[in-house]
């Protein structure tokens, strides 16, 4: 019996997304894990507004900021935090409004999609699978997948390699200056989403989008 040929994904034309603050609203679960960790060291809980400012530079920086110089074995604290987050990362985290349908529209418009996060890679893939959108991405890269984290351009270069995309065909979409700096250093254009956790800092994105619907309209008109 004749079998149909496997579907080959399109090459080139790549949109790379940050995760926390760009695709998902995860502040509640990050705050829960941070405060469980602080409780172990008899520190008072932090409000979500403070934890928001600590996010964006990877889990090691988040733990450093969460403990605010409290003397401890850092390896132990990091392991504790990862354990707490693993147990609570699905409590309240959700896709931002319009993300699931928007990603499908972008795929239908001929874009390849990727995720690059400074969050540990296993958490990234587990979250996106739980939220039902993991299969929309040609690659999902997090801490542990490449030699460096954003703002280093290495993860973006790896995503482009996997997608067969050139810098001229690629956009980086994020809510933090680390996303924008990584884009600049990789030679790709960038979009800043204003609804997220971070700020542009000294970076100058090519475009701003107030919400995910505006982003979709930009690339899937």
Query: What CATH number is attached to the domain comprising 130?
Result: 3.40.50.1000
21 and 31 fall within a common domain = no
Is residue 11 scored above 90 in pLDDT?
Answer: no
126 and 98 fall within a common domain = yes
Where is pLDDT greater, at 72 or 164?
164
81 and 184 fall within a common domain = no
| CA distance readout (Å), 10 to 17, 20, 122, 162 | 18, 26, 26, 12
Which of 42, 68, 88 is where one domain is finished?
Answer: 88
Torsion sign over Cα 145, 141, 181, 157: positive
Is residue 106 domain-resident?
yes
Q: What is the DSSP string of the chain?
A: ---PPPPPPP-S-EEEE-SBTTTEE-HHHHHHHHHHHHHHTTPPPPPHHHHHHH-SS-HHHHHHHHHTT--S-HHHHHHHHHHHHHHHTTSS-EEPTTHHHHHHHHHHTT-EEEEEEEEEHHHHHHHHHHTT-GGG-SEEEEETSSSS-TTSSHHHHHHHHHHT--GGGEEEEESSHHHHHHHHHHT-EEEEETTSS---TT---SEEESSHHHHHHHH--
| Nearest CA among 134, 130, 97 for reference residue 216 | 97
pLDDT digits (tens, 9 = 90+) for 106-119: 999 999 999 999 99
Return the pLDDT at 48: 96
Is residue 2 domain-resident?
no
Q: Which residues carry out catalysis?
A: 18
Is residue 152 domain-resident?
yes
19 and 121 fall within a common domain = yes
Share of the chain above pLDDT 70, in %: 95
111 and 200 fall within a common domain = yes
Q: The domain containing residue 159 runs over which residues? A: 14-25+93-219
Is residue 31 domain-resident?
yes
106 and 82 fall within a common domain = no
Which of 88, 103, 124 is where one domain is finished?
Answer: 88
Q: Which pTM does this prediction carry? A: 0.92
33 and 142 fall within a common domain = no
Which of 44, 59, 88 is where one domain is finished?
Answer: 88
Is residue 219 scored above 80 in pLDDT?
Answer: yes
Assign residue 45 the CATH number of its domain.
1.10.150
50 and 153 fall within a common domain = no
Mean pLDDT, residues 211-219: 97
Is residue 3 domain-resident?
no
The number of folded domains in the chain is 2
Return the pLDDT at 10: 59
Place of tokens 């680390």: 178
Task: Identify the weakest region by mean pLDDT among 54-58, 164-168, 177-181.
Answer: 54-58
CA 52 to chain centre: 14
pLDDT digits (tens, 9 = 90+) for 75-100: 999 999 999 999 999 999 999 999 99
pLDDT digits (tens, 9 = 90+) for 117-140: 999 999 999 999 999 999 999 999
Is residue 212 scored above 80 in pLDDT?
Answer: yes
20 and 126 fall within a common domain = yes
């Amino acid at each position: 019996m004749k079998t149909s040929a496997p579907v080959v994904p399109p090459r080139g034309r790549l949109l790379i997304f940050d995760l926390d603050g760009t695709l998902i609203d995860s502040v509640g679960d990050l705050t829960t894990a941070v405060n469980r960790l602080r409780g172990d060291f008899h520190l008072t809980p932090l409000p979500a507004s403070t934890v928001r400012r600590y996010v964006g530079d990877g889990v090691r920086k988040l733990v450093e900021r969460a403990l605010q110089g409290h003397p401890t074995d850092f390896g132990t604290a990091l392991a504790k935090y990862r354990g707490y987050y693993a147990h609570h990362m699905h409590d309240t985290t959700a896709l931002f409004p319009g993300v699931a349908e928007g990603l499908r529209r972008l795929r239908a418009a001929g874009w390849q999609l990727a995720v690059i996060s400074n969050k540990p890679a296993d958490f990234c893939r587990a979250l996106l699978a739980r939220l039902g959108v993991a299969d929309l991405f040609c690659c999902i890269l997090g801490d542990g997948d490449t030699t460096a984290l954003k703002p280093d351009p290495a993860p973006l270069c790896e995503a482009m390699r996997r997608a067969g995309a050139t810098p001229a065909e690629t956009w980086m979409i994020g809510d933090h200056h680390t996303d924008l700096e990584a884009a600049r250093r990789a030679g790709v254009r960038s979009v800043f989403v204003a609804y997220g956790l971070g700020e542009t800092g000294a970076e100058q994105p090519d475009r701003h989008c107030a919400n995910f619907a505006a982003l979709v309209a930009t690339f899937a008109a």
